[in-house]
Amino acid sequence: MNKEKITTQIIPDTRRKTSDERYPLKLKITYKGERRYYGTGYTANNKEWELINASNPKGKFKTVRNEIVGIETKAMETVKKIVPFSFREFQEEFFEKPIKYQTLKKAFDEAIIQLKKEERVGTASAYQTTINALEIFKPNVRLENVTVKYLHEFENYMLSRNNSITTVGIYLRNVRTIINKAINDGYFNPKFYPFGRNKYQIPTGLSTKRALNKEQLKMVFGYKPNPGDYFVRRSLAFWKLSYLANGLNMKDIAHLRWENLQRDIIVFYREKTKRINRQNPKKITVFRNEFIDKIIEEWSNKKGKPNDFVFNIVDAGDDAQTKLEKVLQFIKVTNKWMKRIGKELGFDLSLTTYVARHSFSTMLLRSGASVEFISESLGHSDIKTTQFYLSGFDLETKKQAMKALVDF
């Protein structure tokens, strides 16, 4: 075989499927044993691929056949022009214009369907909120029109309606994920990618102070609710558990099982990172103390099988959507009563479950713990997330942390 020969071919990319069980049709270029795949904007399942390649295709299959033959013909003509050949020059020459695009809404809708199939209902809900805002701003926008200008206009539109820069950042990170997927599926030309340096940069917002100081923590732990106030007692107990158990969030608390409780420790994997880090999931170890054990004793279900949930927040028979709704309702109720406790104690910040997690991080930082240790304790998959947490801490905390560096 002549390795210098350049071959072109349209094939189904069986390495990945779309949400409707079809394969992206890719243009494969082979040169010197190296293969590159480029999207055509078309998809097909196995049966459709057979009909497209039939000796006499009919109807829509004939149309697709003609289109992909045209793409391959153009590719062969482009290859002949490039001497010596390079994939970079081929891409620049071949992708003068976008191949085929779909609307931004369709791209989001397909992603939402797939997320729900994977039971990632929280992310699906976030995507739905994002596309709702985008459609109100400008409906039926095609992917090729998601430009730097469009993104800046959307940002200005959102800010003019009193949305926070943090909200804008969340929405546009979702858009970036969709565009990245569209590039991979062949619906968007990477040449026109609107994100990055010297293009549109997604705002991060400011990390505001969301942690209690030592005196405030003493006040929370010393607060004595009325024995008859069930929800106040429950909210306070689970807020304390979150703080004491490595800043454990309420979703992870809800999903704790008896098998996670081992003698004097709690061992588990964060729900959020189970999917992201399947190959190397981060195990979190929490050392139990008398406070944690007392909360478990008072608020847990009667101990059953190892796989049973410890707390009565979600049930084994719940589907993913129901579990999400129950956790969100639990957080809502907890925040409601903790905010009232915070006001009663005279705090100048809103006392929520998120404050428990940040307060845990703050106390570690004040004790001289490294960023790496804090990141591991919180179960962050990326140390940049931890660094963003630290950016919101008060100057006194940072000052004390710097002193600890030379406290030999």
CA distance readout (Å), 274 to 254, 255, 380, 381: 15, 12, 12, 10
Mean pLDDT of 327-336: 95
Fold of 104-192: DNA polymerase; domain 1 (1.10.150)
pLDDT-derived band at 191 (thresholds 50, 70, 90) equals confident
User: DSSP character for 191?
Assistant: G
What is the per-residue burial (b if ≥16 Cβ within 10 Å, else e) of 107-120? bbbbbbebbbeeeb
Mean pLDDT over each residue of the chain, to the nearest integer: 84
Q: Where are the domains of the chain?
A: 7-94, 104-192, 214-404
pLDDT-derived band at 406 (thresholds 50, 70, 90) equals very low
pTM over the 0.95 mark:
no
360's enclosing H/E stretch is helix 353-366
Highest-scoring range by mean pLDDT, 89-98, 154-163, 271-280: 154-163
How far apart, in whole angstroms, are the C-alpha atoms of residue 231 and residue 351?
Answer: 15
- What's the CATH number for 214-404? 1.10.443.10
- Residue 386 confidence (pLDDT) above 70: no
Q: Are 383 and 375 in contact (CB under 8 A)?
A: yes
- Residue 167 confidence (pLDDT) above 70: yes
Task: Render pLDDT for 247-290 as a digit per residue (tens, 0 to 9).
Answer: 888 999 999 999 999 888 998 887 665 555 555 566 788 889 89
How far apart, in whole angstroms, are the C-alpha atoms of residue 296 and residue 310?
Answer: 8
Both tokens assigned to 52: 């497209």
- Which residue type is seen at 102? Q
Report the first-to-last Cα separation within the chain, whole angstroms: 68
Highest-scoring range by mean pLDDT, 289-298, 364-373, 394-403: 289-298
Both tokens assigned to 261: 């409780």
Which pLDDT does position 118 carry in this prediction? 82
Q: What is the phi-psi region of residue 198: left when phi exceeds 0, alpha when psi lies from -120 to 50, beta otherwise? A: left
- Residue 214 confidence (pLDDT) above 60: yes
Mean pLDDT of 187-208: 82
Which pLDDT does position 239 carry in this prediction? 96
Mean pLDDT of 136-156: 93
Both tokens assigned to 269: 């994997």
